[in-house]
Each structure stands twice: as structure tokens, then as C-alpha cells.
Structure 1
Amino acid sequence: MRLQGIRFDTAEVVEVEVKDGLIASVKPLESAAAQELPWISPGWFDLQVNGFNGFDFNGETTTVQDVVGVTEALYQRGVTHYLPTVITGSLERIKQAVTTIAEACERYPDVCRSVVGIHLEGPYISGEDGPRGAHARTYVRDPNWEEFAQWQEASGNRIRLVTVAPERKGAIAFIRRLKEAGITVSLGHTCANADELAQAVAAGAALSTHLGNGAHTQLQRHPNYIWNQLGEDRLWATFIADGHHLSPPVLKAMLRAKRDQFILVSDSVKFGGLSPGRYSSVIGAEVELHPDGRLTPIDNPLILAGSAEALDVGVSNAVRYAGISWSEAIEAVTLRPARLLGLSGPGREWLEVGSEASFTLFRQPDRQERIRISAVVLNGETKYSFMGGGAQ
């Protein structure tokens, strides 16, 4: 296989030869060829995916087809690698979900390549309305290492990211233990004070989960837990740039504050990728997916019921609303998430001979349109292609 494209980071025109799933060579091409070629980047990486295209990781029962369905649907949106996100629930429900994800990885090689780990978001989060978000109050609880160990064993040691509220009893010791086990710790769904946040960072927390969301609707002007995390240079942060979770001015200010430590995530749910309309979730909630992509409960249209957009929308919105460059937006869904998790694979060794041949090829529109995915290549195999997409 040979891929021709414009490097997202340097704008150089290159031809990449792929053999046996690895990069065999990278050669420069004449810049005149750029007019007809797509841009090329490492395969995109989403740290937070709850579901997509009708498939759900957080229903009453997670199936292998849910994992396969999400994986295949995300290829069309530019995502080669992601973390299925399992949220707050009973011990049994979380165990069933992570066991099924592990089974899907063992049965399907492509799923195994794409699912580089699991994100456990809860249940060790705030129980307060606002910071708790849509997580079920019934199952929110204090950290329990023995319980977590059951999930990690059931997942085949695939849990790589855990979101926790540091104000929970025992949370600081739990964070320290996760860090020692090589698991990345994120702070989220929290209303921790400055001292609790500082202790969590000192214990090893490295990230803030969808900063600006999962919070009280009204806060003291300053200080508060959003400002404290935003100003903590030792914390990276993920942001949902779907156009609904954060208003454009807020997104712009937050990305500027975090500079090269922001990561874009979708936080998509099962209704992402579906047509506008009214839907019932497996837990009985009625929601409406609006034509503009906003997802709201039928009985309270002023709040959100999750994100219904994939990562391509977030990348486009970050450029449109925050005024950042395309290269910075792409870096925030490729090199940065790989670096955060300490991965040696996707995105970490960009265009080095012998490294993993996983790429997203795309067309850059003007700032008022959405980025267009041309092709997706996973370990040397084309998983999605729109009219060729630069792959040969």
C-alpha cells in the first residue's frame, strides 16, 4: 500500500509506503501534487466514547455487537483508536460491560487494534446534583480497590483511564494506587476544593475529564473547582467541542488556558450518528435529537442528555470557535492522547519507519464547514475510503 498526502504538522507532501502493517518508507513529493491530495495524520484517538450509531456501552447489557458496531462506525468519522467508556453502575453491570469489551477484543482483531483500553468514568465520583451529571445517584460511591480489581481482572487489564472525584473518602490513596499500577487518573464529576485537588495532583492525577461540564449550574465566581483545574499546569484536560457542551467563547478561553495540554473528546452516546428524532434509551428515558445535533431529555429541553457528535465535529468546531490551527486541532486528537497514556503505538511515533501504519486522511474545509474524512487506515488496512482518499 502507498499513501500520498500532505503532512498535517509540516504541510510537506509525502508518499508513505506500508508493508505488513508498518511504515516501510516515507518519501517527499513535489509540492505541485498537493492540489489533489488529502491531508494525512496519525489515526485519530478518542479517549471518551460511551456509544455511537445505536450501539451502547452503558445499557442494561453490553453486547459484543455493541463493541464491533461502535468501532466500525467510528472509522467513518476518522477515529482509528478509542477508549470505550463505562460509567457509574452496580458492580455487576460494570463487570459485565468490561468483560464483554474484552471478549470483543479477543474475538475480532480489528476491535483489538482499535480499542487500546477502557475508560472507567465513575462510580467513584461526586454525589451532588450538577457534578454528578447524568450518573445514577444510586450507584455513586467511595473508591474500593478490591471492587476495582475485579473489574480490571474481568477486562483483561484493559482499564487504562479512571475518572474519580478526589473529595470522596479514600480517593487520594486510591489515586496513588492507580498511578503505581500504571493507570492514568483523571479528575472529573467533582466539586473538590483547592486542597483536595492539590492532593490529587500530588498523588498522581494527570487529567481533567471534560472540564467545564459535570459541574453545578451556578458557581461562586472565583475561586471554584473549574478555575482551579484550568490553572493547574500539571493537569491536562479534555474538552467536548460539540457546540453544545461548551459555548464558543468558553471553549476558546479554556483551550487558550491549557495551550498544548488540551485534548478533544467526543463523549458520544448511542444516539450519535442517528437521524434527528425522538428516542427511548434502554433505561426508559425519552430524548430528542435535534437537527443541529443537540440531544436533550423530552421533559427538560434546557439540559443535555449527552453528546450526539463524533470527533470530526469537535475538531471542526475547535478550529471554528477557538481560532486554533488545523494542525493544533489534529494534534489534540492524535499525538496528545497517545502521549498522555504513554502509548508507543498510535500517534506516538509519527511517520517513523517501522512504526504503526494507522492514518486518517482528510480534507480541510473553510472554517464554516466540517472536516471531511477521505480515508482511514488501521495497521496497514483501509477501513474506510471516500472516493479513494489518497490510498493506493
Structure 2
Amino acid sequence: MMRGSPMTYYISAKRFYFDHKVKEGGYLAVTDGRFGKWTEYVPEGAEVLDYSDYQIAPGLVDTHIHGFAGYDVMDNSEESLLGMSQALLSAGVTSFLPTALTAPFEELKAICQITAETAGKEPGAKIQGLFFEGPYFTEIYKGAQNPKYMGNPSIEQLQAWQEAAQGKLIKLALAPEREGVADFIKEATKQGVTIALGHSNATYEEAMAAVEAGASVWVHVYNGMRGFSHREPGMVGAAFDTPETIGELIADGHHVVPAACKVLIKQKMPQGVTLITDCMSAGGCPDGDYMLGELPVIVENGTARLKKGGNLAGSILQLKDGVKHVVDWGLVTVAQALQMATSVPAKSVGLENICGSLKAGLPADFIVLDDSLELQATYIDGCKGWEK
């Protein structure tokens, strides 16, 4: 299939993972790069894309990813964003939010500008918006973020960034204990920005106040936040106690052990948990020395850690593997795992009508999986972008 060619064809598969429904067998129409309807039969003489031994799912949506295949969002270059876009097809990702770290105001503004200028030119996975993981954090749970650039939230800064991003800054993370948070959240959410909470020592009450103001996502639950105890439920307790919010989960087995993943999913249900990678530039690359923003990192034994102090520094997880892990660990069904990496993340940032499902009318971004959930192919706008 040539990208953009005006035509209709039908995907034949043993199983289709629709949002909230799994259809066995049959055919899914693709017309001019968009999904049509599922049908049991196809018209005589119709063109059929034969994946009858495989399963079809929506392309994966990564709403928290810093880099991949040697490219880093903090490179602040079109080359890196386009490189990530192309390489992410091998991870099953068809939509992503390039994610910036805590950095000086002007540097973040430049990243807004380059992202806005690059969006629409992607050869692979689509840039659906921009995520700022910081700079409004606190030092005690700084993780692999530079405390030198942390401060209190500012609507003036947000507006300057948003202007440079041409409205593409759609998600921003902060610590609830910062000054002026409630007013900032109310104004930012009014402007369509999803507010996430993390890298924070906030109490349960402070975190709940931020949710009351409009925050709706928890940044990589358990990691970089005050933990749960019986006298102070903390950030983790607030995440457990707000079913209307969505918790990010890094399902690599290193950031969060399977038993803790199980507890989170049980507390929030699969529809309240979004699988993310928090992947850094070393994702998809050999072990060795790398940089995360300004900080030196060593990648070995399946983890990325700061050279100084040994903190986990993002991950090298691929989203397709996160899906496989939560199934292999016996935590969720295949359908639920796929929702946690497609429709749930899309919905978490208001993209449910743009990506994350096989719904008729949406761009035909989909993946082909075998029975072991190994990725076989990735399609963008109905055209093959990557094949095993």
C-alpha cells in the first residue's frame, strides 16, 4: 500500500481489539487511510490484506517518552523528533507526546517551537502534542531532574510556551506542594492543558487539593512521589483514592515490581492506568554511557541509572513490551493491556477522537501481533511503516 493512495482495502485477521469489544475473525475496512467498519464478509473482488493468522490492535500511544534510538527530545532538533518518529514504529507506537525534562525557561520555549515546526512532517509515529515533565517540581523527589531549574508555577510562562508551541503543549506535570498550584491548575486546564502530578513530597491532603483543582494524571505512580503509609497516605494514597484520575505506570519490572503493578491496577482498574515508557534516548540501543538532559547515565542490566547516585533515570522500555509484561505477569487480559496502551492514554490527554482505537473514521494506525503478543508490523494511515 502506498501511503496516501485513495483506495479501500479490508484487513483480514483472527481477532480485532476494538475499544471495549473484541471481534473474532471478519474484516476491517480501510478507506483513504482511515478505518471503516468491521464486517463478516467482503465484497467480491475486494482487496484483502491477509493477517488471518494474526491479531490487529490500535497503534500504541506513548504519552510520556523522552527519547528513543539515540534521539532525545532535549536535543531540541527536528532531526531528533523525526528520528524518534521513525524508530518508534518498531515499538508499536503510532502516536506520542515528546516529553521534555526540567530545564531553563528559554530552552523549554525553544523545544516548544521546534516541536510545533516539526509536527506534521513525521515519517512514522505522530507527534500528537508536547508533555513538560517539570519544571514545577520539588527537590526531595527530583529523580533524574535538575533541581537548579525548579520553581513555582507561572501562567505567564505557560502562555509563552504555549504560544511558541502553537497550542501543542497539552500536558504538564507539577508538584502539588508548590506555591500557587490551585490557581495555576484551574487556569491551565481551562486552556486545555492536562495537569499531571509527580516528583513531589506532597501530603495526601495537598495532592487531593490539586485533583480538586483539576489535575487528572499521576506521573509514573510510586516513582518520584511520597509513598503510602497508614498515618500519611501521601501521593500514592491520593492516586489510589481518586478513581476519576489516571495513573501512569512504567511496567518494566524495575521501576515497579509486578506485585505493586497489581495493587495499582486493582485500585484504579485497568481503565484508570495508562502504560507509559518514560523512555530515554538509550531505548532500542546497546548498553553503555548516555545522557538524560544534562545528566550522565549508564545503561546496563535492563535499566538506565544516573552515574552519580544511581537513581533510575527514565527507562529503556518499549511500549509493546510493557503491554506484554502486564499480560505475562497475569495482571490483566490482553484486551485490557492493549487498552492501557491505546485508548486510556489517548483519553488521558483528550486525544480519544484522534488516536488510540480502531473506531471508524479515525486514521488507520494499527499494529499486527502474533499469539504471543510479539509485534509483526506497524501501519500508519493504512500503510505499512515497519515490519519484523
1:212-266 per-residue CA deviation (whole Å, 9 max, x = no partner) reads: 00135x7755422212222222221110001110011111111111102111000
Q: Shift of residue 74 of structure 1?
A: 0.6
Distance 1:85 1:150, change over 3 A: same
Is the 1:161–1:185 contact (alpha carbons within 8 Å) kept by the matching residues of 2?
Answer: yes
Q: Does 1:247 align with 2:257?
A: yes
- Whichever residue aligns with residue 334 of structure 2, its letter is W
What residue in structure 1 maps to residue 204 of structure 2?
Answer: 194
Rounded Cα–Cα distance in structure 1 between residues aligned with 2:265 and 2:237: 13
Rounded Cα–Cα distance in structure 1 between residues aligned with 2:303 and 2:244: 32
Is the 1:47–1:119 contact (alpha carbons within 8 Å) kept by the matching residues of 2?
Answer: yes
Distance 1:127 1:252, change over 3 A: same
**Which of 326, 345, 348 lines up with 1:340 in the alignment?**
348
Higher fraction of strand: 2
- Whichever residue aligns with residue 261 of structure 1, its letter is G
Q: Does 1:51 align with 2:53?
A: no
What residue in structure 2 maps to residue 83 of structure 1?
Answer: 97
Alpha-carbon RMSD across the aligned residues, in angstroms, is: 2.3
What residue in structure 2 maps to residue 99 of structure 1?
Answer: 113
Is the 1:210–1:237 contact (alpha carbons within 8 Å) kept by the matching residues of 2?
Answer: yes
Is the 1:165–1:190 contact (alpha carbons within 8 Å) kept by the matching residues of 2?
Answer: yes
Is the 2:25–2:52 contact (alpha carbons within 8 Å) kept by the matching residues of 1?
Answer: no
Is the 2:11–2:51 contact (alpha carbons within 8 Å) kept by the matching residues of 1?
Answer: no
Rounded Cα–Cα distance in structure 2 between residues aligned with 1:35 and 1:154: 43
Rounded Cα–Cα distance in structure 2 between residues aligned with 1:144 and 1:286: 29
Identity %: 27
Is the 1:133–1:214 contact (alpha carbons within 8 Å) kept by the matching residues of 2?
Answer: yes
What residue in structure 2 maps to residue 267 of structure 1?
Answer: 278
1:21-79 per-residue CA deviation (whole Å, 9 max, x = no partner) reads: 1124422269xxx9952111111101101001100012xx4110100011111111100
What residue in structure 2 maps to residue 380 of structure 1?
Answer: 382
- Whichever residue aligns with residue 49 of structure 1, its letter is I
Q: Does 1:159 align with 2:169?
A: yes
Rounded Cα–Cα distance in structure 1 between residues aligned with 2:350 and 2:238: 25
Is the 1:85–1:119 contact (alpha carbons within 8 Å) kept by the matching residues of 2?
Answer: yes
Rounded Cα–Cα distance in structure 2 between residues aligned with 1:179 and 1:198: 16
**3-state secondary structure, aligned to 1:10:** strand
Structure 2: gaps of 5 or more residues: 1-8, 43-49
Distance 1:340 1:285, change over 3 A: closer
Distance 1:351 1:180, change over 3 A: closer
Q: Shift of residue 300 of structure 1?
A: 4.2
Structure 1: gaps of 5 or more residues: 366-370, 387-392
- Whichever residue aligns with residue 375 of structure 1, its letter is A
What residue in structure 2 maps to residue 114 of structure 1?
Answer: 126
What residue in structure 2 maps to residue 132 of structure 1?
Answer: 142
Is the 2:30–2:382 contact (alpha carbons within 8 Å) kept by the matching residues of 1?
Answer: yes
Is the 1:125–1:168 contact (alpha carbons within 8 Å) kept by the matching residues of 2?
Answer: yes
Rounded Cα–Cα distance in structure 1 between residues aligned with 2:292 and 2:316: 16
